[in-house]
């Protein structure tokens, strides 16, 4: 791979990188869709169990430093998807920045409530619950639940239920981001290995060169092949009936065993 680095060749490290790269690429192909589906299931469950009019999840987008509403549930909740707010703006911003859950009985009377932002979504709630999505590693977003369908104010049981859903969403997001960030982690590990191998007296490893090397390997993995068509099909069947998923697994295992055997006789060299 010419031009990937100006420093020492990463030979065995590069070989290891090529072994890991296909798994990273496949995870990046499959997991974002699955993660979004899990978040939708969280807000759907929140609406059903709390008997609310709508629910939504806003996540921090580090690139812009704002909270972006990613998913919503309920007939009146869809308008919020895509809206972004500051990390200290409105009720969601307050909950995100402080890490404190809120239950507000009269939204219009609360100074933290941003009516203008709510009007952009086409739905101005009377009352709401907002709980942080966070763990020991920090806060990554906010779950909001709007208006009980029976018109009653939210109670402590509703707040506790929302907190449970927020924890589940946090787990799902962390798991998804771990797979998405694997390429970045691999780049860091590669840099550390090269620096350790070359010794402290050598010039520091060029971070840009490392990033270029990892990116080049990632582009090479399955680029322009039928690999990603297969990955997309697997993503589509993963939520099918368990018996059907088992059948797909058996077929893939049989094909994998066949692919591991060298071609023989008249079939040698024939593309399967």
What's residue 183's pLDDT? 55
| 210 inside domain | no
Looking at the structure, do residues 53 and 172 belong to the same domain, yes or no? Answer: yes
| 139 inside domain | yes
Kindly report the CATH number assigned to the domain that includes residue 145.
Answer: 3.30.450.40
| 95 inside domain | yes
Distances (CA, A) of 146 to 16, 33, 133, 163, 232: 50, 26, 17, 14, 35
- Which of 178, 204, 233 is the endpoint of a domain? 178
| 48 inside domain | yes
- Which of 178, 202, 235 is the endpoint of a domain? 178
C-alpha torsion angle, residues 235, 239, 244, 248 (rounded to 10): 20
Looking at the structure, do residues 103 and 41 belong to the same domain, yes or no? Answer: yes
Structural domains counted in the chain: 2
When computed from its CA atoms, the radius of gyration of the chain, rounded to whole angstroms, is: 24
Looking at the structure, do residues 229 and 173 belong to the same domain, yes or no? Answer: no
| 19 inside domain | no
Looking at the structure, do residues 146 and 40 belong to the same domain, yes or no? Answer: yes
Looking at the structure, do residues 141 and 59 belong to the same domain, yes or no? Answer: yes
Looking at the structure, do residues 170 and 233 belong to the same domain, yes or no? Answer: no
| 215 inside domain | no
Looking at the structure, do residues 129 and 242 belong to the same domain, yes or no? Answer: no
Integer Cα distance of 3 and 74 in angstroms: 52
Looking at the structure, do residues 39 and 167 belong to the same domain, yes or no? Answer: yes
- Which of 163, 178, 193 is the endpoint of a domain? 178
The helix (run of H) or strand (run of E) holding residue 135 is: strand 128-135
What's residue 75's pLDDT? 79
Integer Cα distance of 215 and 130 in angstroms: 39
Looking at the structure, do residues 229 and 164 belong to the same domain, yes or no? Answer: no
Task: Give how far the C-alpha of residue 17 lies from the chain's centroid of Cα atoms, to the nearest Å.
Answer: 23
* pLDDT, tens only, 27-68: 555 554 446 777 888 899 999 999 999 999 999 988 889 999
Integer Cα distance of 177 and 57 in angstroms: 16
| 69 inside domain | yes
Q: At what angle do helices 11-50 and 207-220 cross, to 10 degrees?
A: 80
Domain housing 60: 31-178
Looking at the structure, do residues 125 and 232 belong to the same domain, yes or no? Answer: no
| 121 inside domain | yes
Distances (CA, A) of 78 to 69, 139, 264: 10, 24, 57
Looking at the structure, do residues 59 and 172 belong to the same domain, yes or no? Answer: yes
- How does pLDDT run along the chain (272 residues), one tens digit per residue? 444 444 444 455 556 555 555 555 555 555 544 467 778 888 999 999 999 999 999 999 888 899 999 999 987 778 898 889 999 999 999 999 999 999 999 998 999 998 888 888 888 899 999 999 998 888 999 999 999 999 999 999 999 999 998 988 888 787 766 545 555 655 666 666 666 555 544 445 566 666 666 666 656 555 445 665 666 676 666 666 777 777 877 887 887 777 766 654 443 444 44
Looking at the structure, do residues 130 and 35 belong to the same domain, yes or no? Answer: yes
């Amino acid at each position: 791979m010419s031009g990937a680095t100006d420093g020492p060749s990463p030979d065995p490290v590069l070989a290891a990188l090529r072994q890991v790269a296909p798994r990273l690429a496949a995870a990046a192909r499959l997991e974002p869709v699955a993660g979004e589906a899990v978040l939708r299931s969280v807000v759907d469950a929140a609406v059903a169990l709390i008997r609310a009019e709508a629910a939504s999840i806003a996540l921090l987008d580090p690139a812009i430093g704002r909270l972006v509403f990613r998913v919503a549930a309920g007939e009146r909740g869809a308008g919020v998807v895509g809206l972004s707010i500051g990390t200290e703006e409105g009720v969601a911003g307050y909950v995100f920045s402080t890490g404190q859950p809120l239950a507000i009985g009269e939204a219009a009377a609360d100074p933290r409530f941003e009516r203008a932002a709510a009007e952009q979504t086409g739905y101005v709630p009377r009352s709401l619950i907002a709980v942080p999505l966070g763990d020991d590693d920090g806060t990554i977003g906010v779950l909001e639940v709007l208006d009980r369908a029976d018109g009653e104010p939210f109670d402590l049981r509703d707040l506790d239920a929302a907190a449970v859903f927020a924890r589940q969403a946090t787990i799902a997001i962390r798991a998804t981001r771990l797979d998405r960030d694997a390429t970045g982690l691999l780049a860091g590990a590669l840099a550390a290995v090269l620096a350790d191998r070359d010794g402290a007296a050598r010039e520091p490893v060029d971070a840009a060169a490392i990033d270029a090397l990892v990116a080049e390997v990632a582009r090479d993995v399955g680029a322009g092949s039928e690999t990603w068509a297969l990955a997309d099909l697997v993503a589509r069947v993963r939520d099918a009936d368990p018996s059907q998923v088992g059948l797909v697994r058996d077929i893939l295992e049989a094909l994998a065993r066949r692919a591991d055997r060298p071609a023989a006789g008249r079939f040698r060299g024939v593309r399967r």
